[in-house]
Structure 1
Amino acid sequence: MSRKVVMTGTLGVMTEASLKVMEETLKRKMPDVEFKFLFDEPQDDDTLIAAAKGAEVIITQFQFMTDKVYKALTPELKAVVAYGIGYNSANLPVATANGVYVCNVPNYCQEEVAVHVVSLIMAEQRRMPKLIKWIEDGKWSGGYKAVAPVKRFSKQTIGLYGFGRIARHVAQMFSGFGCRIIAYDAIVPAESIKAAGVEPVDFDTLLAESDYLTLHVPLLPSTEGIFNKEAFKKMKPTAIFVNTARGALCNADDLYEALSTGEIYGAAIDAYTTEPPSGIERKILELPNVLSTPHVGYYSDDAFDDLIDQTADVVVNVLQDKDPGTLINRELWKK
């Protein structure tokens, strides 16, 4: 009897070739898997239910899983596997209430995201967007006038909101620049942060003393919108806000106000709440003091290979009643 696994809601990430690799990888690891790709775009509940009926595992990035969907697909549905690090679309509390595992793939792109963060910060440090525009406008001499004032980078403070795997990579990469590196994490002990050569601080100190503040936490009820009007008011007017994590970690209206009024100097953003950005987030993207990239921090060919392979490992472990190792609602394990 075949074991049905479906993938859906990936918004352009999967190509025909990558889907073939996913299917081949799953079948190599577990020959009786039946793999099917459903929809690239997120669907309404009824459409998803009809297409996914009988699936034991759903792999998705952006398909939001409602209580109606879970109730219609259980007890056959065993797990929703986030195709990547973020798992907020799995709707963790509702999945748990329906006895469905939520897993993610947290280890496939740590280096890539860290390099992207460093690249964004360095581009902002040297004011690259302004220098590029200076040349595009037909100018050359006196280019420093487009970027002044700029402080020596070794005199800057890098602030890390969250100190997980990616943040540790960022800290290691910046350690050679001579910058002060500080971090706040609500869970990671101060001793662990110190052991990595980083200065632990409280949240208010992180806000007040960071020249570059970069976000490295998952989107949870406790972190959603935590960068709001009050937070931005506590930051330096020369500060750069860097978000390669999740757009909803900040209040978009408050970020737009902080950027457009000069409350903070600028932002470098790879992740928006709505993608492609619309409404107020579209206005943020168009501000002259914002450097945006289209949510590509995770990408390299090697990272894609790892993502497919590690996703397949999680799926197969779930189907074989083995600990997938990345179970978010661990309280359900062997319940």
Structure 2
Amino acid sequence: MKRPYVFITRKLPEEIIAPMKAIAEVAMWPHDDVSVPRDVLMTEAKKADALFTMVSDIVDQTVLEAGKSLKVVANMGVGFDNIDVAAATKCGIAVCNTPDVLTDTTADLTFALLLATARRMVEAAQFVKEGKWKSWSPFLLAGVDVHHKTIGIVGMGNIGTAVAKRAIGFEMNVLYHNRSRNIEAEKQLGATYCSFEKLLETADFVVCLTPLTKETRHMFNKEAFRKMKRSAIFINAARGAIVDEQALYEALVSGEIAGAGLDVFEQEPIDASHPLLKLPNVVALPHIGSATKETRTKMMEVCCRNIIAILTGNQPETLVNKEWSLRP
């Protein structure tokens, strides 16, 4: 009997993929730091029973329809906006992601980004390395306090709730906006639900953690930034396209807001010439929200288990398209 074929779009450790190799033929793109070319992805999709993808891989209707034998796309990330889920469901293809295992790690990074931006840590470190530290002065690289301030979290899912827990440790007042009320967070953390507009007007730190959808694309636009305090700091650890980057740039340059910490961008990798990267009040990171050795390993393992489950006729652990069902 012919073994199923799995294609992985990045080079992964052999010990991680060993369980898949026990039940399938497995091929990998030979690079861990270079995206698989579109033509290679198309070629592999045509013969694959399973695709193990990264959040930077575009798995659209064309790719999915080319995969005549394709049964599952296992995406290494909690987000899945890089995949046409509706097309996958129509084609009878399961889409899986890796939620939960990255919640605390991403929350750590998000709050660290908030702290780094508020206290100008990256700017200060560079100041020392460039030999500019010649004396002490009262307001040398002075940032702003985080403790006892108001944090506004847009997107109160698992990661948003985990960020709120960290904010409580700094005795912050927690506001949130979400599609639906998070009663558990309100009871356990004392978080307060409010409208998007009220959150923008009130929060000292506005943290974006909402998924990217048609409704949230460019949710943070010129009007949104105008409603924020001039002292406010904006943090985005969700998806770049939720923000109108030109509007953010203009808000930062004009002083409509005080600073921004960004782990995600509309185009990734972001070009070094991008105007946002020229601003001293921007802390920019290369989409490393879940990037710890422990968590990335767990994410790989979840993807492998989901693929194995589908290929052996079992239900996957983390199915995105709930309308999908096992085919006989």
TM-score normalised by L of structure 2? 0.90
Aligned to 1:5: 6
Quote the residue 2:168 is aligned against.
175
Aligned residues with identical type, % of pairs = 29
Query: How many pairs are equivalent?
Result: 319
Superposed CA offset, 1:183-206 (max 9, x none): 11113x242331231111111111
Q: Which runs of 5+ in 2 are unaligned?
A: none
CA contact under 8 A between 1:103 and 1:328: conserved in structure 2? yes
Residue 138 and residue 176 in structure 1: after superposition, are their counterparts in 2 closer, same or farther (change >3 A)? closer
Secondary structure at the counterpart of residue 82 of structure 1:
strand
2:280 is aligned to: 288
Q: Which residue in 1 is equivalent to 2:240?
A: 247
Specify the alignment match of 2:19 in structure 1: 25
Answering whether residue 160 of structure 2 is matched by residue 159 of structure 1, we say: no
CA distance in structure 2 between the aligned counterparts of 1:164 and 1:207, rounded to whole angstroms: 19
List per-residue Cα deviations over 1:93-149 (Å, max 9, x = no partner): 22223222211011222221111111111222323234335544133311524326x
CA deviation string 1:13-68 (max 9, x = no partner)? x4xxx3312321323xxx22111113642423x54332333211111112212322
Deviations 1:142-200 (A, max 9, x none): 1524326x3x433310111111111111111221211101111113x242331231111
Aligned partners of 1:50 and 1:155: how far apart in 2?
55
Q: As a proportion of its length, which structure holds more helix?
A: 1
Distance 1:47 1:133 in 2: 40
CA-CA distance at 1:213 after TM superposition: 1.1
Q: 2: distance between equivalents of 1:263 and 1:297?
A: 27
C-alpha change, 1:275 and 1:190, in structure 2 (3 Å) is: closer
In structure 1, which of residues 144, 156, 167 is the aligned counterpart of residue 139 of structure 2? 144
Which 5+ residue runs of structure 1 have no aligned equivalent? none
Q: Report the CA distance shift for 1:259/1:25 in structure 2 as closer, same or farther (over 3 A).
A: farther
Q: Is 1:306 matched with 2:307?
A: no
**1:110-125 matches, cutoff 5 A:** 110-125=103-118
1:279–1:251: structure 2 CA closer, same or farther, 3 Å change rule? farther
1:279-322 CA-to-partner distances (Å, cap 9, x unmatched) read 88x21122111011122221111112211211111111111232
Code of the aligned partner of 1:5: V
TM-score (norm 1): 0.88
Partner Cα distance (2:254, 2:147) in 1: 28
Structure-to-structure mapping, 1:71-90, within 5 angstroms: 71-74=65-68, 76-90=69-83
SS of 1:224's equivalent? coil
Which of 191, 201, 213 pairs up with 2:206?
Answer: 213
Whole-angstrom distance in 1 between the partners of 2:237 and 2:146 = 21
RMSD of equivalent CA atoms: 2.1
Alpha carbons of structure 1 residues 123 and 143: separation in structure 2 relative to 1, 3 Å: farther
